[in-house]
Chains A and B, each alone.
Chain A
Amino acid sequence: MRNIWAVCKREFASFFVTPVGYVVVGIFAAVTGIGFTASFLFYAKVSVNPSAFAYSNVPDFEETLLGPFLVFCGLLVMFIGPLVTMRLLAGERNRGTMELLLTHPLRDREIIFGKYLASLGMLIVMMAIVGVHLLIMAFYVNVEPSVLVFGLCAVFLMGAAFLSLGLFVSAMTNNQITAGSLTFGLSLVLYVIGTLGESLPKKNPAPEAWAAGLRNLAGTLYDFFRSLVQQLAFDGHAKEMTQGVFRPEDVTYYLLITAFFLFLTFRALESRKWRA
């Protein structure tokens, strides 16, 4: 147990002794700041004169501002997360310190959880920045605090899932740049697949000419495929939670993804030992 903390401490400290930590926090602060300001100003304009923007009433705050902003923050973690995760395990291989890590009396779980916790630490710093924006929001708008809390949770869960993906990719590669690019690419696919999911038609694509039984089978498979694609979208499950609606399935979704990639990281680390 103590070792998890030792690994975490060392890793987290290294984020702030090298430029990585400052770059990540800096970029995150700048982009969320700009995003927040821009959307807030836009909302202000719309609420004053809704008809000019083709709204019949003043649009709902949570739906048009808070929700999209928080989802945006979560996706920003997708862009920036790889910078944090790419060095976690691939960096050890790069620098040759894997030989130290694996010959010290550290169990696999201590290494993996220690490093994951360090990356979550960075996520918490980013949450603090989002928290500042939310506090400003709360000052000007009447929102229930629980809405803001759930919103932050949503971003945290999304971020945690992206980071676990990053850790897994880092465990699989020898090179930090490869790890970073691959993580980014995979996250992007998982995000963009959401747009595809929305566009996929409900109708069974099997042509009329086919036999009824075959059509039914094709229909079931297609439905499965369609719902899978829709479910895979990373931001899909955040939409409701960012507006303050707590749905256990959303939380479960992100926790499951995180658990899945952490499990894969364990296997990846194990297999690396047998190969090298």
Chain B
Amino acid sequence: MIEVTGLSKYYGPIAAIEDVSFSVAQGEITGFLGPNAAGKTTTMRVLTGFSPPTRGTASVAGFDITKDPIEVKRRVGYMPESVPLYPEMLVAGFLEYVAEVKGVPRSHRKEEVGNVMERCGLTPVAKRLAGNLSKGYRQRLGLAQALIGNPPVLILDEPTVGLDPQQIIEIRRLIKSLAHEHTVLLSTHILPEVTMVCERVLIINRGRIVAQDRMENLAGGFKTLIEVEVEGPDDKIAAALKGVPGVQSVSREAEGRYLVEGPSNVDLGPPVAAAIIQANLRLRGLQKRSRTLEDIFIGVVSGEEGDQS
């Protein structure tokens, strides 16, 4: 549904994105992660036709953004990061304008607007001026505006930023409900959100794609980590830990503290404890930790861990 090949965008001599290539299949929800200024918004702006690319191609729903921009724009619902609205318009009026511009036939317009408002929880503020909306409602209006006309592709730039926890849950539920009917590309800083909502993840850093995979495969998948505090000679501890079946790696964090890595579906806690006791070492503490997307993200972005799957 979205095909990007070798996309680059330069502002003068500075490359905002460089040689970006990825694809998003129909009906997938893909998370687009990256630190600030990594190039997420730039990529989205190129995909939606707001900025032209310097090099490379991008096609959405089979149409090339530089050759057939109008066809692409008809099929994309875009929610920009700044959630722009016309503050002097009523919520319903604004959505009717968007419906008109997106080509919703006049006879269906009111119905479509009503449906989208219902879906996004905007019905209570339908007659309020867009400029008088609270942050939560503003975000919802931005999302509603993207949903008008039921476009096959949705590109959402940080849809949950600034919302309170309850609102975040609602928006996430809404986005998840969009899967399969729509192809969604959403960018966010909030990593748990990606874990919860997305099937695939793209990680971008300094203008380049550094990771691109399904959630479960990403950088070797999520592992379980066991932190053990043991008293005893280092070599003995290392040997005991390495001997436990299923252990993928053992690393020494500090004096008496070791990190044991294993696959996420195996509970290494009891075997590790047993191994230490059997080796006549003193077990002072044992703690399980999951390797979250955050660890992977920081690792990939800072390039410290050379993680491969």
A residues within 8 Å of B by Cβ? 2-3, 6-7, 9-10, 13-14, 17-18, 95-100, 102-107, 273-274, 276
Contacts and interface: CB of A to CB of B under 8 A. Distances in A.
Interface stretch (B47-55, B190-198, B199-207, B227-235): B47-55
Nearest to B83: A96
Contacts of B279: none
A102 B145 CA distance: 14
A102 B50 CA distance: 6
12 contacts: A10-B86, A96-B80, A97-B85, A99-B80, A100-B80, A100-B145, A102-B49, A102-B50, A103-B48, A103-B50, A105-B74, A106-B73
Contacts of B88: 14, 17-18
A126 to B, nearest CB: 21
Contacts, number: 65
Contacts of A18: 88
A103 B49 contact: yes
A103 B51 contact: no
A14 B86 contact: yes
A104 B104 CA distance: 13
B102 A105 contact: yes
Interface stretch (B25-33, B93-101, B281-289): B93-101
B82 interface: yes
Contact of B70 (A98, A105, A274, A276): A105
A125 B12 CA distance: 45
Contacts of A103: 48-50, 73, 76, 78, 80
A102 B44 CA distance: 13
B61 interface: no
Contacts of B100: 2-3, 6
- What is the predominant secondary structure among interface residues of chain B facing chain A? loop
B101 A3 contact: yes
Interface in B90-138: 97-98, 100-103
Given A99-B80, A104-B101, A104-B102, A14 B49 contact: no
B80 to A, nearest CB: 5
A274 B101 contact: no
Contacts of B76: 103
Given A95-B86, A96-B84, A99-B84, A105 B51 contact: no
Nearest to A10: B97
Contacts of B162: none
B147 to A, nearest CB: 14
A98 B49 CA distance: 12
Given A6-B100, A6-B101, A99-B50, A104 B86 contact: no
Given A3-B101, A6-B97, A99-B80, A107 B86 contact: no
Contacts of A2: 100
Nearest to A99: B80
Contacts of A276: 50-51
Nearest to A16: B88
B89 interface: yes
A274 B84 contact: no
Contacts of A7: 101
Best-surrounded residue of A3, A97, A103 (most CB of chain B within 10 A): A103
Best-surrounded residue of A17, A102, A104 (most CB of chain B within 10 A): A104
B87 interface: yes
Contacts of A97: 84-86
Given A17-B89, A103-B48, A105-B74, 17 more contacts: A7-B101, A10-B97, A14-B86, A14-B88, A17-B88, A95-B87, A96-B82, A96-B84, A97-B86, A99-B45, A99-B50, A99-B80, A102-B49, A103-B50, A103-B80, A104-B73, A105-B103
A163 to B, nearest CB: 21
Nearest to B142: A100
Given A10-B97, A103-B48, A276-B51, A95 B73 contact: no
A274 B53 CA distance: 9
B84 A104 contact: no
A86 to B, nearest CB: 16
A13 B49 CA distance: 27
Contacts of B50: 99, 102-103, 273, 276
Instruction: List the 3 closest A-B pairs by CB distance, nearest first.
Output: A105-B73, A96-B84, A103-B48
